[in-house]
Structure formats: structure tokens, C-alpha cells
Amino acid sequence: MTKHFLTLLDLDKDEAETLIQRAIELKKMVQEDTPHELFKNKTLAMIFDKSSTRTRVSFETAMVQFGGHAIFLSPRDTQLGRGEPIEDSARVLSRMVDIIMIRTFEHEKIEKFAEYSQVPVINALTDMYHPCQLLADILTYVEHRGSIKGKKIAWIGDGNNMCHSYINAARLFDFKLHIASPAGYEPDQQIMSAAGDCVSFTSDPKQASEQADLVVTDVWASMGQEEEQRKREKSFHNFQVNQALMTGAKPDALFMHCLPAHRGEEVSAEVIDGPQSVVWDEAENRLHSQKALLELLLNSR
């Protein structure tokens, strides 16, 4: 069976822990200029149906550092964009490349692609999940504060793809996730109940962030929801992560955001540009954690 990474739950707890430790080693190799061309001539296909800065650059750089190659594919210039069936595209691409990364809308699309692919498929964001970002977030927490096990993490804002991946991360890495979302923007009920005691929900951001070790937020309107921006600004205006909210968290609490951020909306400039924010490390860690992921998947073949 081909090993895919469609959600965090495609990893078991041991694999997840090992991956984070390996990411730390790989990061050190980059910093010390130690060559690690472990995947010479291996090719990653990157299918992007949505925009990206971090994901594209981190995956492409990862393959270069491994001595391999990445191919950027957009719907504007592939047959996928002209309606070639997903099943056919998956069969064709996976006969040529060694691994495939997809950023798209419907999660079902990536599941279908994976079903027909002979090579590992990585979810680089769907409307439901963003598991690659969570690998970077956990790595960032571990680097700054040590193990995340048993810690209190506050998710403030939309019950979106990032929130769903935080819920899965709470299960995998054994932390307590406290979610605060406005009415009508709660996370998926099934994903939440599957996480049992790892997750709790409130509509009060103060309560969720009280004594938290880490406070996380994300945009109010995700890619594909641009036309809801105005309406969402009204619903979310009490859900800004600002200094007042951070004051209720632990004094050494960290702040994370997957980026891109909207200062003055989901986060104040004071917080994202302040001393508790680790967003730049978090962004850099996309590279190192995805290299550990690529290695795990390429070696599984």
C-alpha cells in the first residue's frame, strides 16, 4: 500500500515524534552546510489550485537541498485545469514522478487522486485540512519550549482547515486544544468529537486563551471565501488576538499564525510583531519539517 499524507492521522504517534526529531537534525544540516543529497534525481510534482508562497518555496527548496527536483503545475497550464479526470492525471503523473503534492479546494479531490496514485500524495492544504503547517507548528513549539505534550493550546477564530488540523494534532501529540469560534463558524463536529477529551470548545476567546501555553489564529476568510470577507469581519470582530487577550495566557505563551496574516483583523500588529510571536521561525520550519516528511514518504516506497 502506498503511504500518503492526506491528514495528520496518516502518521502514528511514533512516526510523528520521529519526524519532528528528524526535522531538527535536517535543520542543523542546513545551518552547518552539511550536504544531504539523499534523493538525487527524485522528482516531486506540485499541483496548486490555490495561491501559495510558503508551501511552494519550501517544497521546491526541500527537493533542491535533497539533490532532486520539483515541478510546479498550475491549472492554467495543465490538462487538469481543462477537465482531464483526476483519476487519469493521478495514474499518468505517478508513473513519472516519485512523489506528488497537491493544494486544492475539496478534500475529496485529493483522496481520489491518492486512490489512483502509485506514489505518495501529500496534502498541501484543502478546504478541510492543512497538515503540513501543523508539522512546522509543532517543530516550532518544540524548539522554543520543549515537548508539547500536556500543554494548553488556544485556537482563536475560524473553525477552518487549520483548526481541523490542530484538532488532529492534539490527538497525535497529546495536547489540550481549547477552541473559541463565533457562532456559525465552529469546526466540523465529527472531527471534534473524534478527538474526545483532547479538545474543548467555547464561544469566548478569553476563556479559551486563559493560561494557554500557545495562542494560534488564522485569517477570518480563507482562500475561496473572499466574497464573505465583509460578513465575516462582523462575526469575528471580538476574536482578534491582541495584547489584552495575550495577557490572559501564560506569561511565556507563544503566538503562532500560519500566514499570510491580516494585521488589525485576526491579530494586532503589536502581537504578531511582538516578543511572543514566533511566526518567522514557524514559516521557516515549513522547509525543515516537510523535508522530514518527504524523507519518510520517499523511503516508504
Which residues are designated catalytic? 103, 130, 133, 218, 258, 286
Edge-first strand listing for the sheet containing 176-180: 199-202, 176-180, 152-156, 214-217, 254-257
**Candidate segments 6-14, 49-57, 105-113, 242-250, binder of ligand CP by CB under 6 A:** 49-57
**Candidate segments 9-17, 31-39, 52-60, 69-77, binder of ligand CP by CB under 6 A:** 52-60
Binding-site size, ligand CP (CB under 6 A): 8
Which CB atom, from 8 or from 198, has the smaller least distance to ligand CP?
A: 8
Q: Which of 71, 145, 259, 284 binds ligand CP (CB under 6 A)?
A: 259
Which CB atom, from 54 or from 151, has the smaller least distance to ligand CP?
A: 54
222 binds, among ligand CP, ligand NVA, none (CB under 5 to 8 A by kind): ligand NVA
Alpha-carbon span 139 to 135, nearest angstrom: 6
Q: Which of 21, 28, 37, 53 binds ligand CP (CB under 6 A)?
A: 53
Q: Do the Cβ atoms of 7 and 131 come closer than 8 Å?
A: yes
For residue 9, the number of C-alpha atoms closer than 13 Å in the C-beta half-sphere is 11
219 binds, among ligand NVA, ligand CP, none (CB under 5 to 8 A by kind): ligand NVA
Q: Under the criterion CB under 6 A, does residue 52 sit at the interface with ligand CP?
A: yes
Three-class secondary structure assignment of the chain: CCCCECCHHHCCHHHHHHHHHHHHHHHHHHHCCCCCCCCCCCEEEEEECCCCCHHHHHHHHHHHHCCCEEEEECCCCCHHHHCCCHHHHHHHHCCCCCEEEEECCCHHHHHHHHHHCCCCEEECCCCCCCHHHHHHHHHHHHHHHCCCCCCEEEEECCCCHHHHHHHHHHHHHCCEEEEECCCCCCCCHHHHHHCHHHEEEECCHHHHHCCCCEEEECCCCCCCCHHHHHHHHHHHHHHCECHHHHHHCCCCCEEEECCCCCECCCECHHHHCCCCECHHHHHHHHHHHHHHHHHHHHHCC
Q: Under the criterion CB under 6 A, does residue 133 sit at the interface with ligand CP?
A: yes
Please report how close the Cβ of residue 217 comes to ligand CP at its closest, in angstroms: 13
From residue 16, alpha-carbon distances to 4, 134, 174, 272 in Å are 14, 11, 11, 28
Which CB atom, from 55 or from 277, has the smaller least distance to ligand CP?
A: 55
Which CB atom, from 213 or from 218, has the smaller least distance to ligand NVA?
A: 218
By rule CB under 6 A, what string of x and - marks binding of each residue 106-125 to ligand CP? -------------------x
| Residues near ligand NVA (CB under 6 A) | 125, 130, 160-162, 218-219, 222-223, 258
Q: Which of 6, 154, 256, 258 binds ligand CP (CB under 6 A)?
A: 258
By rule CB under 6 A, what string of x and - marks binding of each residue 219-248 to ligand CP? ------------------------------
Q: Under the criterion CB under 6 A, does residue 9 sit at the interface with ligand CP?
A: no
53 binds, among ligand NVA, ligand CP, none (CB under 5 to 8 A by kind): ligand CP
Which CB atom, from 93 or from 216, has the smaller least distance to ligand NVA?
A: 216
Residues near ligand CP (CB under 6 A) are: 52-55, 125, 133, 258-259
